[in-house]
Structure 1
Amino acid sequence: MSAKPTTIKEIAKILNISPSSVSRGLHDHPSIGAVTREKIKQLAQSLNYQPNNAAILFQKGKTYTIGVILPELSEHFFSTAISAIEDEALKKNYTVIFAQSHDDYEQEVKLVEKMKNQRVDGLLVSISKDTSKFDHFERLNSFNIPVVFFDRIPPFKNVHYVACSIENATVKAVNYLLKKGHRTIGMINGPTTLFASEERKEGYMQAITFNRLKFDPSLIVNCDLTEKGTIEAANQFINHKRKPTAIVTFNDYVALFLIKYLKKANVVNEFDVVSFANLPFISYLDHTPIASIEQYPYLQGQKAANILLDLINSPNPESQAYYNTLVESDLVINSEKL
């Protein structure tokens, strides 16, 4: 078994001086004579003394650690965002702690509490699909822990956030399908608890009404983003009295579930599909969405990390105006952006 780390108290006891004198000597404080400083340093070196960085940082009121809570680390969107967050944190000598909510609200609440207990200096969050209450984040205000949301954000402005312009992106997607001649367009949307679902709905309605078409609310079906939920939504469209000829999906994973099911039902060629995220694996499918919205996860992660670091290092973070940052999207068709 390895020996316990040497402490300042042990060095002080050997030299018969106070622990505070040892600490000042190790940091070349002028109140400690040169001879004593040299004795302290030589003994510390011989005993392989390593400073307790956690204790030092705690005294400074910082841990130089930021927390990140995401729905799923395995999703390409979030893994790309993580790369950006780590890159930006490393530039400022911060350590990053990651955790997954697995799209579960109760898990998210527990993780926020754990991050607080870990004394993170700030928190980056993409909320779960079930999150409709936000008091667990609001409680962090009393601990001076700033929070920046990204991608999946709360439905109000008095928070710091970075997100893609989802409403505009949906307008682009629906307009593209209309230009291709589609007049009955369905949408498999996400849970109603997600602000991004409302944004997609608003974008859909805006494009439909602008093009002087009648909005049919039955052509928007909400699902829980699972394969089972996607299949249930697909069946509604297959059996719809106004069977759509094109479907906009909440993301590429829902598009994958949808296309898989449509192939099984032998109707895959009856629908054009447009999705969100523009994930790399889509290009390897036999049947792919004809277009996908690029949401730039690296840029979102980069901007969110920099905003959080600015808030952490701001002398008066409580008086800081809210950062509401939108990243413009692109509609990608056969690797060409529109």
Structure 2
Amino acid sequence: MKYNQVTIKDIARELGISPSTVSRALKDHPDISPETKKAVNELAEKLNYQPNIVALSLRQSKTNTIGVIIPELVHFFFSTVISGIEDVAYSAGYNVIITQSNESLQREKTDIKALFNSRVDGMLISVSRETNTFDHIEGILAKGVPMVFFDRVYENANSSKIIVDDLSGAKEATLHLIDQGCKRIAHLEGPPNLEITKQRLEGYLEALKDHNIPVNKNLIMACPLGTIEEGKKATEKLLAMAEPPDAIFATNDPAAMGAMQAIKEAGLKIPKDIAVVGFSNWFFSALLDPPLTSVDQPGFEMGQEAAKLLIRQIEMKTKNSDIDVQPETKVLKTRLVVRDSSLKKGKKK
């Protein structure tokens, strides 16, 4: 028999018992003898029997499956988030379907529709950098599907979210550069529609204000894609200024890596001439020359907390479909990982 053709009827026919007996044996029903249960389960394993999830969901209105939409699978931060999600979900008896929007609003719309049609019990979403309209999300929320946003969130009073304190992390990074004696600190700014970009910019500005350093808008360069190439081009423009910066705080590590490339190609030294700090603490940050100072985000913990919150909401809706689940927001702390790219004074904090 082929794997996908094995049914309860096949097992019943092989053992010469009724399909209802097989069904009850697989559910460990007390009316079925231990011998029959053993025979049924052994044959089910031998034939690679798997329950029909679709049929079960139609009967139970629950699939024990959650859907996840992330911007990019290759992104180190999001890969750690997925690990955290799966750690909690599988322990709680839930399967996980992962999709990626590939930073496309249209793909995000397609993914959310596909997950809904797959009858997932709830969704975990981190929006794409193109997402500036939310009708596709509102449509699913209106149908009562539990939904939790993480990292890149939909700012809606009725939605739950797990975020990191981007403002605090950016402020700590900028204060560190100020502590190293830097006064002309540039900022490579990320996608303008994302709340994390706004929070990181705000943290940068607050740090300057706290030390009475005037804000020079020419030192804030747009990097809407947050790529290595953008970081490099933006830094080349900064270095061409009459008074170039003595430090750069980038919205993410790829942009910071591009900045480091431009600085080196200009014949300047890091951090002696220009200090550099990134955000996210990608796995390659410690491998750069010099190693990159970066703001670490607890990706694994974020995934865990997002999955816990979603599953809790799913279970509440399962017990009472009419219940009005109250939205929750959890903010996780960041941590500045100081490395050689920013140490003008030659010491770690």
Q: Same fold (TM over 0.5)?
A: yes
Distance change in 2, residues 1:213/1:78 (3 Å): same
In 2: Cα distance, 1:45 partner to 1:295 partner: 47
Distance change in 2, residues 1:196/1:26 (3 Å): closer
Q: Which runs of 5+ in 1 are unaligned?
A: none
In the other structure, the counterpart of 2:283 is: 280
In 2: Cα distance, 1:273 partner to 1:48 partner: 59
Aligned counterparts, 1:109-258, within 5 A: 109-223=109-223, 224-258=225-259
In 2: Cα distance, 1:10 partner to 1:210 partner: 73
Partner SS state of residue 129, structure 1:
coil
1:6·1:49 contact (CA, 8 Å) conserved in 2? no
Query: Structure 2 length normalisation: TM-score?
Result: 0.83
In 2: Cα distance, 1:215 partner to 1:245 partner: 14
Code of the aligned partner of 1:323:
E
In 2: Cα distance, 1:28 partner to 1:204 partner: 60
In the other structure, the counterpart of 2:330 is: 325
Partner SS state of residue 313, structure 1:
helix
- Matched residues, number: 330
1:153·1:195 contact (CA, 8 Å) conserved in 2? yes
Partner SS state of residue 218, structure 1:
helix
Aligned counterparts, 1:45-84, within 5 A: 50=49, 52-54=51-53, 55-84=55-84
In 2: Cα distance, 1:26 partner to 1:124 partner: 31
2:228·2:255 contact (CA, 8 Å) conserved in 1? yes
Distance change in 2, residues 1:58/1:245 (3 Å): same
State which drifts further: 326-335 or 81-90: 326-335
Partner SS state of residue 280, structure 1:
coil
In 1: Cα distance, 2:206 partner to 2:89 partner: 39
State which drifts further: 163-172 or 136-145: 136-145
Partner SS state of residue 301, structure 1:
helix
In 2: Cα distance, 1:298 partner to 1:49 partner: 33
Q: Deviations over 1:211-247 (max 9, x none)?
A: 1122222221121212332233112211234421000
Query: Following TM superposition, by how much is the alpha carbon of 1:71 offset from its aligned partner in structure 2, in angstroms?
Result: 1.4
In 1: Cα distance, 2:236 partner to 2:215 partner: 20
1:7·1:49 contact (CA, 8 Å) conserved in 2? no
Query: Structure 1 length normalisation: TM-score?
Result: 0.85
State which drifts further: 92-101 or 258-267: 258-267
Distance change in 2, residues 1:69/1:27 (3 Å): closer
In the other structure, the counterpart of 2:307 is: 305
In 2: Cα distance, 1:193 partner to 1:268 partner: 34
Say yes or no: does 1:267 pair with 2:268.
yes
1:8·1:23 contact (CA, 8 Å) conserved in 2? no
Partner SS state of residue 182, structure 2:
coil
1:161·1:304 contact (CA, 8 Å) conserved in 2? yes
Q: Which runs of 5+ in 2 are unaligned?
A: 341-346
Code of the aligned partner of 2:279:
F
Query: Following TM superposition, by how much is the alpha carbon of 1:279 offset from its aligned partner in structure 2, in angstroms?
Result: 2.2
Distance change in 2, residues 1:206/1:27 (3 Å): closer
1:186·1:244 contact (CA, 8 Å) conserved in 2? yes
Distance change in 2, residues 1:101/1:16 (3 Å): closer
Q: Deviations over 1:78-102 (max 9, x none)?
A: 1111111111011111111111111
Code of the aligned partner of 1:198:
K
